Amino acid sequence: MIYFDNAATTYPKPPQLLRAFTEYLNFYGANPGRSGHTMSLETAKQVYKTREAVRELFGVKNTEDVIFTLNCTHSINLVLKGLLHWGDHVIISDLEHNSVLRPIHKLWMQHGIQYSVATVVEGDDNATVENFRKCILPNTKLIACTHGSNVFGIKLPIARLAKLAHQNGAFILADCAQTAGVEDIDMSSMEIDFIAAPGHKGLYGPTGTGILLIGNENITLDTLTEGGTGSNSLVYEQPDFLPDQLESGTVNTAGIIALEAGIADIKRKGIANIRSHELQLTQMLYDAMSAMPQIKLYTRRPTESYHLPVLSFTLGNEHSEETAKRLSEYGVATRGGFHCAPLAHQKMGTLQTGTVRISLGMYNGTEDVREFLTILKLLQNSND
């Protein structure tokens, strides 16, 4: 199988991840922070080790500001529903995933939240920032936007948008679903208030792991859920300190411990090396595909400044899901359809057919690219 669906989840995972997972289950698989025996203490130690690894990777000031969640969507919902109140205004981009769009739309429908959609201009950060600036209102509370499109790979100037938000008394939430582990992200220097990220994509952890990073000590979020935390057990109210305030119930202990192995692996390889490798492969694909008469690509040639290792294309007038199905029959894993991103497809004029998404990972190589291009030419020729 040629696996080009890394934007959905990365594959394969590092072998160290499986070892960490099974070691926990076999030797000390207790509940962290709930008991004083050695197995529980060792489990808590390993969870903290992952928390510290995340803090270091993203430049978070305090380890307790690393919150473990179910997934990136859960992290986003914790911020949106914990921060926004009646009358607040939010700015999103026209590339948002439904993990941002749907909760904000519900808050608009049911809780009096207003929102505006800013246009992202590919390859022109100045124009993009200016479009966000035009959306600022007196009651703007938050800019909530993707760091990079999951469909078209277009990056947003997140540090500049953070500065824009703060200049206008607002906060910023960065959806780093596609950039965590691929882009260098330093929360402190970039002055980002909230980062939401999955563990199972660029961090090469297992599914069911998400992180929320809080970079502003002056923010208190309302809780989305309350329950047992292993702390302040005689008090009826939820603890008011992190991470306990936002981590109710037993966390995905095995997944979190395995996540540390994924993070350690990308740190060994180097994020800059991973990014360069994936982008070079993406450029190889783009150059060859742009010469195929029936292939339509929807972005400029990918560059490190403005793009992720993600391409979207269509083959003639064929629906993208049919193209993806035909590729799968040849042993190629891609994703066709609409990628949970209706705004992005509306922007690119692909609401009728969707697109086939190719997303590279650090385990892909030039041979994968060559084989894929050979198969794609076969599909193109069969359409003639």
Q: What is the CATH number of the domain that holds 329?
A: 3.90.1150.10
Examine the domain organization and report whether 184 and 287 are in the same domain: no
pLDDT digits (tens, 9 = 90+) for 62-91: 999 999 999 999 999 999 999 999 999 999
Ramachandran sector of residue 143 (left: φ over 0; alpha: ψ -120 to 50; beta: rest): beta
pLDDT at 91: 99
Examine the domain organization and report whether 179 and 250 are in the same domain: yes
CA geometry: angle 202, 206, 209, nearest 5 deg: 85
Give yes or no for a contact between 120 and 95, defined as CB atoms under 8 angstroms apart: yes
pLDDT at 382: 85
Within 176-309, strands assigned E span: 194-198, 210-214, 295-297
Examine the domain organization and report whether 234 and 286 are in the same domain: no
Residue 296, number of CB atoms within 10 A of its CB: 17
Residue ending a domain, choose from 247, 268, 289: 268
The answer, yes or no, to whether the previous bond of 243 is cis (omega within 30 of 0) is yes
Examine the domain organization and report whether 255 and 279 are in the same domain: no
Residue ending a domain, choose from 268, 291, 315: 268
pLDDT at 218: 86
Ramachandran sector of residue 190 (left: φ over 0; alpha: ψ -120 to 50; beta: rest): alpha
Examine the domain organization and report whether 24 and 143 are in the same domain: yes
Examine the domain organization and report whether 21 and 135 are in the same domain: yes
pLDDT at 384: 64
CB neighbours of 186 closer than 8 A, spacing ≥ 6?
58, 59
Examine the domain organization and report whether 104 and 126 are in the same domain: yes
3-state secondary structure of 359: strand
Examine the domain organization and report whether 198 and 303 are in the same domain: no
Residues paired with 114 in a beta bridge: 89
Enumerate residue ranges in the chain where pLDDT < 70. 384
Instruction: List the domain range (segments joined by +) for residue 208.
Output: 15-268
CB neighbours of 284 closer than 8 A, spacing ≥ 6?
366, 369
What total number of domains does the chain contain?
2
**Cα–Cα distance between 163 and 170 in angstroms, integer?**
10
Instruction: Give the tokens for residue 176.
Output: 């780093």
Instruction: Give the tokens for residue 291.
Output: 């010469």
Examine the domain organization and report whether 41 and 6 are in the same domain: no
pLDDT at 230: 84
3-state secondary structure of 117: strand
pTM of this prediction exceeds 0.95:
yes
